[in-house]
Amino acid sequence: QAKKMFNSSSITEFLLLAFADTRELQRLHFWLFLGIYLAALLGNGLIITTIACDHRLHTPMYFFLLNLSLVDLGSISATIPKAMANSLWDTRVIFYQGCAAQLFFFFFFMSAEYFLLNVMAYDRYVAICKPLHYGTLLSSRACVHMAAAAWGCGFLNSLVHTVNTFSLPLCKGNAMDQFFCEIPQILKLSCSDAYLREAGFILPGVFIAFGCFVFIVLSYVQIFRAVLRIPSQQGRHKAFSTCLPHLVVVSLFVSTGLFAYLKPASISSPSLDLVVSVLYSVVPPAVNPLIYSMRNQELKEALWKL
């Protein structure tokens, strides 16, 4: 039987991966995702409100944390509501335009988060290694420019990749092995020569991402060297407690993302792929507020006050 050929213009909808075959399990997934989504909305919403309302938290570190919470809200809102709706109404369908929008917004918020984590690493580096220049290097204007650059780079990165991905001819049907639209899944449906074109296009992005990762690592090498030179134990503890949450968030974000995209095909299976995709797309936005507020006395006090 000849394989049915598709082209992009004839596809009006895609089929997302169903979480389960039975209605009971689908409902369970709905409630589980609803719980995670509400936790993310509550946690990030509280951090945004607290930082906006408390004047003592109007510092560069908290300004960037507020931006991170906004990005987390955006990234989890790009994927979870559609997955919840599909589980609730027992469907797998997402329209072509909806898929393009979902891919764009998810990639936009994830890219912006990665650039923001770099800016936050720079903020911690200046605070600990160049404290006398902190006010100059991280003035209000500089902070706004850096946050705007992170959002702007995320937007451009996502726009270019979304347009390029959806301009590829699709020859391999419209069913995806993922519960939301993402670039690798669309590439799997594209014709082989098109796949190579997009792979070549992704390489500069990989180099930029690697460069950013190296920047974060080098920043932390300098930070830890400076912290270990602090004579008082209390001073060392305070410096570590401001850096540790950021380091945990970076590790979670980078390790889950790398494993999702670079895991060997030999260990790949639909259930493992699903767990990994939930880990890198859903877990970080939900747990980031918890990670940041657990070790931060200032933020905890402001939260209780609110």
Domain that holds residue 100: 17-305
pLDDT surpasses 60 at 124: yes
Task: Report CA Rg, the chain.
Answer: 21
Q: State pLDDT tens for residues 225-266.
A: 988 888 888 888 888 887 888 888 888 888 877 777 777 767
Token readout for 266 is: 């030999």
Q: State pLDDT tens for residues 24-75.
A: 888 888 999 999 999 999 999 999 999 999 888 899 999 999 999 999 999 9
Look at residue 3 in the predicted model and tell me its pLDDT: 42
Domain count within the chain: 1
**Beta carbons of 290 and 42 less than 8 angstroms apart:** no
Q: Does residue 1 form part of some domain?
A: no
**Beta carbons of 79 and 1 less than 8 angstroms apart:** no
Look at residue 195 in the predicted model and tell me its pLDDT: 61
Inter-axis angle of helices 23-53 and 60-88, nearest 10: 160
* High-pLDDT (> 70) share of the chain, %: 92
Cβ neighbour number for residue 168 with a 10 Å cutoff = 18
Q: Does residue 107 form part of some domain?
A: yes
Rounded distance between C-alpha atoms, residue 50 and residue 233, angstroms = 30
Higher-confidence residue of 274 and 156: namely 156
pLDDT surpasses 70 at 201: no
Among 86, 94, 84, 90, which Cα is nearest to 21's?
A: 90
User: In one letter, which amino acid is 79?
Assistant: T
Look at residue 31 in the predicted model and tell me its pLDDT: 93
pLDDT surpasses 90 at 296: no
- Residues contacting residue 12 through CB under 8 Å, at least 6 positions apart: 95, 96
Strands 13-15 and 93-95, how do they pair?
Answer: antiparallel
Q: Does residue 162 form part of some domain?
A: yes
pLDDT surpasses 90 at 143: yes
Q: State pLDDT tens for residues 80-90.
A: 999 899 888 88
Q: Does residue 7 form part of some domain?
A: no
Q: Does residue 10 form part of some domain?
A: no
**Beta carbons of 109 and 75 less than 8 angstroms apart:** yes
- Residues contacting residue 122 through CB under 8 Å, at least 6 positions apart: 146, 215, 219
Q: Does residue 12 form part of some domain?
A: no
Residue 173 sits in a domain whose CATH number is 1.20.1070.10
**Beta carbons of 292 and 245 less than 8 angstroms apart:** yes
173 — alpha (psi -120 to 50), left (phi > 0) or beta? left
Q: Does residue 8 form part of some domain?
A: no
